[in-house]
Each structure stands twice: as structure tokens, then as C-alpha cells.
Structure 1
Amino acid sequence: MSIELRHFRCFLAIADALSITRAAERLHLTQPAVSRTLRQLEQELGRRLVDRSTHHLALTPDGASFRDQAAIAVTAFDRALRLGRHTAWPLRLGHAWSAAGTGTTALLRRWRQVHPDTPLELLRIDDRTAGLTRGDVDAALLRGEVHTPGLLTAQLTTEPRVAGLPADDPLARRPALSLSDLATRTIALNTVSGTTTLDLWPAAARPTSTLPIANQDDWFAAVTAGRAVGVTTTATADMYPHPAIAYVPLTDAPPVPVLLAWRDAPGHPRIPDLIHLAREVMGGAEQGSREA
């Protein structure tokens, strides 16, 4: 038996749904057919991809690693098919939060003017690399240091950090704050794609109470409800002003680098153009790319 594209699609459906039943429904196949296809793929690879020993399905470490590679392969195939049918090849740009900040609108409009034949699709994906390693996007706007193997990055700019507080919080009336002012508060930490960790504070003065969240929407909900305070960048303050949130500058928090990242592999031919335009719009100095 040889591995076919249907094996990849079947595995990706299982990995996404973590259920043979739901994967079968999505693929319009029977459950035995999905189980058989998965078993064939595992036998051909010589690796166990899905752990069926518990009540709920879970990916094995090999399965989690293979998922990203399978997604890239399926995406590449689908793109080649679209190109063969003479359809436009959109350039998909991922972000986990705040996109290009105040430069977002300018970036999208300038791209449309300069490259009208290549649609630029901005996609928010709640993932550390905004879907880049899974093949969901061609490039991604990321914040913070990126150490994912196989990615190249170009720094576009840096953004100062600010505190996000309920508008009626006593600290919200101050013109500026230090990290120590937040140390006694519950801190909302985006554990999926955020740049704030307890390492931001000195070891002897770290907050003792945190509220883990998974995305920007949950961050806003936690802060507006008064459940926690947060640390973000000026891009969030500029793009998402909210009457129930006060953004106060932090005087002793280091700025956050904003990067454009892409895979170190053959990809969309317009990525160099995107790097150039993003640097121009966001005001970053020309810098060499590097492997993450």
C-alpha cells in the first residue's frame, strides 16, 4: 500500500475533531472506513499517531508532529490544484492578536494597490505561530521572540508595553505605572500566543495570582469584568479602544519586537514583496532575516 492524499485528509480530520465519529461525519464516511484509513497510515509510517487507550482520543507526540507536516502537504496540493485551474493564489497572512497595529489598514490597502492580482488575506489564528507551522498561512505577524525551528523572521518594529486595567480601577487614573504596581494583582496570561509571562517581573517580586487565558477575546473579558489586569502592547490599545478598559504606559517593561515570519521552504512567491511593504508601512529599519 502507498500513502495517498486521502490518508492525510482523514488524519487531519481526526486530529482536528479528536473523534472518529465527528471525523467520519465531516468526511462523509463511515466510522469503520475512517478507522481503517488511519490504521493504514500508521502501518505505512510505522508510527502510532493517535492514542486510543483513553476514553477520549489524543494525538501521540509523533501524531502532533506529523499533523503539521500533513497540513502543509495538503495545503500545497490544494494550492497547486487552484493554480492549475487558473484561480488567484492568495497570500495568507496570519496573526494571533493586533495584526500590524495601527499599520494594519495601510498594509492591506497598499498591498491591494501594488499587487492587485494577489489577494492578501488577513487571518486571526489563536496559535503561537498564528497557523504558520501548520501550513494554515504563508506568513505571520508575530510578537515576541520566535524560536520555532524551520521559520525565518524579519523584525519590523518594536512596541512599548502598557497595562490593561478596568477603567474604574484606582491605578487607571495614573499617568504611568511600573511592573511592581501590578505585582499584587491577578495577571491575565495568554498561555497560547501571548508575550507576557511571570519572567517579566523580578524573581523576588513576581505576582502570585494569575488567570490563564487562550486568546485576545478572553483577555478583554477578564479585564473588563475586573477578574484580572493585563499587560499588552500599544498596538492593542490603538486598535481596540474600549470604554471599560484603561491602557496605562509601563515605564520599566521592555518593548516587544514585532516580526514577520515565514517558513524556510519554498512558499508563496510574493513573500519578499510582503516583507518589503510591511517594513515600509510599519517603519522598521531594513534588517536581515534570520532562522528562528
Structure 2
Amino acid sequence: MDLRQLRVFVAVVDAGTFTDAAARLGVSQATASRTVAALEAALGARLLQRNTRHVGLTGTGAQVLPIARRVLDEVAHLERVVEQSRGELRVGYAWAALGKHTRRVQKAWSATHPRTPLVFVQTNTPTAGLAEGTADVAVIRRALDDPRFDTALVGVESRYAAVSTDSPLARRRSVRIDDLTRYTLAIDARTGTTTLDLWPPGSAPAKVRSTTGVDEWLTLIAAGQAVGITSEATANQNPRPGVAFRAVRDAPPIPVWLAWWRDDVPPRLPDLLGLVCEAYR
């Protein structure tokens, strides 16, 4: 059984005769007839009742027809998705794209590649959409130890604390990492950049609250139920009423990589790498 057989079968049912279906498909009547016969042989069941003027569905054919239509619709959808992905470059990110550099990179890309939109897609997974197929390139802020992907370091970002605007810490221009130890720390262990390794042994926050994404993380912090540490990009791209971002002056910076499939390098990747590196410089 193959897709061509399903297409001919559906066309014959819709047209009502092999002759009319063959005309619509641009094949001979004999070819249409043989194709449906091959489908019936593959399934081991008669699908159509034939006479000299008209064809009708058998009981089995009536059950097969809606399934055949669904299969063909899904294949058509798959082809549309692939065609669309060829016409744009999708950049995945888990939390905050390229931060303050996002718009600059998009404008520069649009000026040099007007026929290939640069689209940023949020996918909160460790590969920021690469493994899931929603992105061609991904912005990664955690080391990606996966042999399927190649990476390139494009820049570094400062770390910022996120605290409730009601917190005493919000009245400071910057904070130290030890200032956060007496608060509950919100962490996204799957895609976030914060781990307890930022603190010396024995001095990490005693309470940790797990989150599953930036929105949940910000909601907890705005309510005063936790504090967080994140990249400069999050502070730039995710302002939230009730949340104050303050630089953490003694925390190490966060490296930023672009990642892509090793065996499926996106077109124009060098151009994108050049723009992003220039923006971070």
C-alpha cells in the first residue's frame, strides 16, 4: 500500500467513476483501475463495487474511506510544515531569546535576507526546540552534552537576581549572591541557568522551589514567595509588574551558545552566527 493508491481510491469515490477520476488525476482509466485493484490486493478486501456506469463503496470501503482521507490530510499537513520551514529560519529559545540583542539581530537579518524571515520560537526544553523539531537553531545557556548537535559560543551575559518589588533587596542597585540565601530560591532545573553550585558548599539557600517555565517563575517572585537568579536576557525580555531585577555583582557570567543539528546544518547559519557574535561584542 502506498499514498498514490489512497489518492486514486479517494478520487474515484469523489468522482463517481474511474473515467472521471482518471481525467482529474491526469492518468488513464486503466491506470486508475489497476491502482485501486492494487490497493484492494494490499488490504485483502474489496473496497469498491463496480458497474459500467458507476462505482460504489462496499462495507469495508466505507470504513476505509474516512481513514484514507485523514491519512492524506496528515501527509498534506506534513508537506506544508516542511515547505514553511524551508522559507524561514526558526531560532528556538527556552526563556529569553537573545535578550536586548534580539531586535537588533532581527533588523540586521531582515536587511540582508529579506526573503527569509528570522523567527524566534519559545520551547521550554533542554534543546530549546531542536530535538522537538520546532527550531532550526537554538539559543542555549546550559552546556549541551549531546553528540547530535554542534554548538558555537556567541557571547556571555551577566546574572541578575529577580526579587519582589516589596523586598528590601529591590531598594538596592545590585546584590551579592549571599544576600539571597535566606530566601526560597525558585529554579527551573530543566532549562534554567541557576544551580546550587553557585554558592560555596554549606551556604546555598535552604529552601528551593521547582518551576517549569519563566511565567511560573516570575509569578512566584512577584508574589514574594521566592527569589531567583537568571540571565541578563531574562531581565530584558520578561519585565513583570511586581518583579525587580538587580545585577548580582559577584556571580559568574552565563555563556550563550547557538546550537544546531550536526547532520542537518541550516542554510545561512554562518550569517546568523556572525550577526549574533557581533551583537554580543
Instruction: With the length of structure 1 as denominator, give the TM-score of the two structures.
Output: 0.66
Using the TM superposition, give the Cα deviation of residue 88 of structure 1 relative to its aligned residue in structure 2, in angstroms. Answer: 5.3
**Is 2:263 aligned against 1:265?**
yes
Deviation track 1:147-192 (CA, whole Å, cap 9, x = no partner) reads: 2222111111111111100011012212322221111210000122
Letter paired with 1:140: A
Verify the 8 A CA contact 1:88 1:117 in the aligned structure 2: no
| Larger Cα-atom Rg | 2
Q: Tell whether the 8 Å contact from 2:159 to 2:248 is kept in structure 1 after alignment.
A: yes
Alignment-mate amino acid for residue 145 of structure 2: H
User: Paired residue for 2:93?
Assistant: 95
The alpha carbon displacement at 1:114 in A equals 0.5
With over 3 angstroms needed to count, the CA separation of the structure-2 counterparts of 1:81 and 1:242, relative to structure 1, is: closer
Sequence identity of aligned pairs in percent? Answer: 39
- CA pair 207-79 structure 1, distance change in 2 beyond 3 A: same
What amino acid is the match of 2:198? L
Whichever residue aligns with residue 275 of structure 2, its letter is L
**RMSD of the TM alignment (CA)?**
2.6
Structure 1 residues 208-247: aligned runs within 5 Å: 208-247=206-245
Cα distance, 1:170–1:80 mapped onto 2, change above 3 Å: closer
State yes or no: 1:150 paired with 2:140.
Answer: no
The gaps in structure 2 that reach 5 residues or longer are 3-65
**What do the CA deviations read for 1:255-277 (whole angstroms, capped 9, x no partner)?**
00111111111232122221112
Deviation, structure 1 residue 281: 2.2
Q: Is the 2:187–2:209 Cα contact (8 Å) retained in structure 1? A: yes
Equivalence for 2:124: 126
8 Å contact kept, 2:218–2:240: no
Structure 1, unpaired ranges of 5+: 3-27, 35-73, 284-292
1-side partners of 2:80 and 2:252: how far apart? 40
Counting only pairs closer than 5 Å after superposition, residues 1-292 of structure 1 correspond to structure 2 as 78=79, 82=83, 89-283=87-281
How far does residue 233 in structure 1 lie from its aligned partner after superposition? 1.8
Displacement of 1:105 after TM fit? 0.6
Q: Secondary structure, in 3 states, of the residue corresponding to 2:104?
A: helix
Question: How many residues of Structure 1 are paired with residues of Structure 2 in the alignment?
Answer: 212
**Compared with structure 1, are the counterparts of its residues 122 and 177 closer, same or farther at alpha carbon in structure 2 (3 Å cutoff)?**
same
Deviation (angstroms), 1:125? 0.5
Query: Which letter does structure 1 place at the counterpart of 2:232?
Result: T
1:204, distance to aligned residue in structure 2 (A): 1.1
Give the conservation status (yes or no) of the 8 Å contact 2:260–2:266. Answer: no
Q: Distance in 2 between matches of 1:165 and 1:80?
A: 41
TM-score by length of 2: 0.69
